[in-house]
Amino acid sequence: MRTGQTQLFIPGPTNVPEVVRQAMNVAQQDMRAHDFGDLTLPIFADLKTLFRCETGRVMLFPGSGTAAWEAAITNTLNTGDRILIARHGQFSTLWAQMAERLGLVVEAIDLAWGAACPVNEIARRLGADREGAIKAVFVTHNETATGVTSDVAGVRRALDECFHDALLFVDGVSSIGSLDFRMEEWGVDLAVAGTQKGLMCPAGLGILGVSDKAMAASRTATMRRAYFDFADMAAMNAVGQFPYTPPTPLLHGLRRALDRILREEGLDAVIARHRRLAEAVRRGVAAMGLEIVAEHHSICSDTVTAIRVPEGVDARDVIRIAYDEFNTSLGSGLGPLNGRVFRIGHLGDLNEAMVLTALSVAELALVRAGADLRFGAGVGAAQAHFAAQRGTAPRMQIAAE
Ligand SMILES: *Cc1c(COP(=O)(O)O)cnc(C)c1O
């Protein structure tokens, strides 16, 4: 039996705030009632604000982020289309694999896990593609396996500079709602998210931003789709409904989470908080003498940090000890990083005290797993960072609506 709270520092699902949990405790309601749109239409509008999407639309598909990956592909591309994607972590690798399984030709750029999406190489390949064979470029904005954030605006510039017409697909599952993301400004055509990461809700809805260009592509794209069809979804969404039964309690939770992000804390403050907490994690990890997977500080993610364990230590032991002995979940090393890396997820409903707990338990579990490090080094560096910031931390403000 476990006493006290179990600490969750995995990069999804993330902690669900108490107010969001309470908001989901609702009676079931009539999803064909004429006033169902009172709940859903403001959610669709708020998601557009969150995605910084002006001309397109945002759709919700029952499912997880992976469902939105599939919806994006099957609605806008044709079997045999060539897509360009960098593989530099588990999520970019899985998305490329899905594209292949769905019948696309995948032109992959294989990089070290820890690298960012290579904008120059993408530009070179687009420039060389005179016939426009590449129909889409896929970018994993935040590679959750490695803790690396990529330059989506740079990829958009590369497309524009070669007057290339490919659709820009972006996986923002662990970035949208936590990191700076600008669907309109960056010309993103398909932007994928999910409810269980930065949006602080349980899993259950894949969220997809769709540009007008992507919507137009969906009218002629011939790939088979049924459940995820944009036309069915758009037609029902216009009157605030879904083509099938949506998870209404989750919609109430999302409603409350969006209020928190957009109206109570404010999106800019949310992004600044993620930066502040991430910086403390990075300083803590450096002070422990450990390396991170991200190849350069300029590409470090503000939502997740992937940390290499010292030689002779098995990261699986660190994770197991943290969980079994100290009620704390740390993220595992995915794919080839398994056993060599653990991750601290620092996105969603998080504060300074929680970051200190994560670092403190990580130190404890590392030492119990055989690492030679000095207790308190990491925690102390994070404390020093927070102390230096004191007074400048934005307070939560309830906007007068
Ligand atoms: C979590 C995650 C996914 C997968 O999302 P699910 O909701 O688990 O289907 C995809 N991409 C990235 C970058 C993620 O972090």
Cβ distance 251 to 201 under 8 Å?
no
* Mean pLDDT, the chain, whole residue set: 96
Q: Helix, strand, or coil here: 232? A: helix
Other beta carbons within 10 angstroms of residue 399's beta carbon come to: 10
pLDDT at 389: 86
Q: Residue 175: in which H helix or E strand, if any?
A: none
The rounded distance, in Å, linking the Cα atoms of 379 and 385 is 10
Atom of ligand 1 nearest to the CA of 140: 13
66 pLDDT above the threshold of 90 = yes
pLDDT tens column, 323-362: 999 999 999 999 999 999 999 999 999 999 999 999 999 9
238 pLDDT above the threshold of 70 = yes
Distance 197 CA to ligand 1 centre (A): 9
pTM reported for the whole predicted model: 0.96
Crossing angle of the two packed helices 212-220 and 65-76, in degrees rounded to 10: 60
Across 179-190, average pLDDT: 98
Across 125-141, average pLDDT: 97
pLDDT tens column, 310-319: 999 999 999 9
Least confident stretch, 47-51, 63-67, 272-276, 396-400: 396-400
Cβ distance 300 to 147 under 8 Å?
yes
pLDDT tens column, 212-226: 999 999 999 999 999
Probe ligand 1: pick from 148, 174, 179, 305, max atoms within 8 Å of CB? 174
Verify whether ligand 1 is closer than 6 Å to residue 378 (CB atom).
Answer: no
pLDDT at 395: 52
Distance 98 CA to ligand 1 centre (A): 13
Give the chain's largest Cα–Cα span.
64
Produce one character per residue of 316-348: b if its CB has 16 or more CB atoms within 10 Å, e if not.
Answer: bbbbbbbbeebebbbbbbbeebebbbbbbbbbb
Q: Nearest-5° angle of CA 100, CA 214, CA 67?
A: 50
Full set of structural domains in the chain with CATH: 7-13+266-389 (3.90.1150.10), 18-263 (3.40.640.10)
DSSP class of residue 292?
B
400 pLDDT above the threshold of 90 = no
289 pLDDT above the threshold of 80 = yes
Structure tokens at 9: 């520092």
Verify whether ligand 1 is closer than 6 Å to residue 203 (CB atom).
Answer: yes
Helix, strand, coil tally for the chain in percent (to 5): 40, 15, 40
pLDDT band for position 391 (cuts 50, 70, 90)? low
C-alpha 279: how far from chain center: 18
Count helices and strands (H / E) in the chain.
Answer: 13, 13
Atom of ligand 1 nearest to the CA of 66: 9
Verify whether ligand 1 is closer than 6 Å to residue 303 (CB atom).
Answer: no
Q: Nearest-5° angle of CA 185, CA 187, CA 192?
A: 105
36 pLDDT above the threshold of 60 = yes
**Does 343 count as an annotated binding residue?**
yes
Atom of ligand 1 nearest to the CA of 64: 7
Other beta carbons within 10 angstroms of residue 112's beta carbon come to: 10
Across 142-162, average pLDDT: 98
Verify whether ligand 1 is closer than 6 Å to residue 174 (CB atom).
Answer: yes
1 pLDDT above the threshold of 90 = no
Across 52-78, average pLDDT: 98
pLDDT at 396: 47
Verify whether ligand 1 is closer than 6 Å to residue 89 (CB atom).
Answer: no
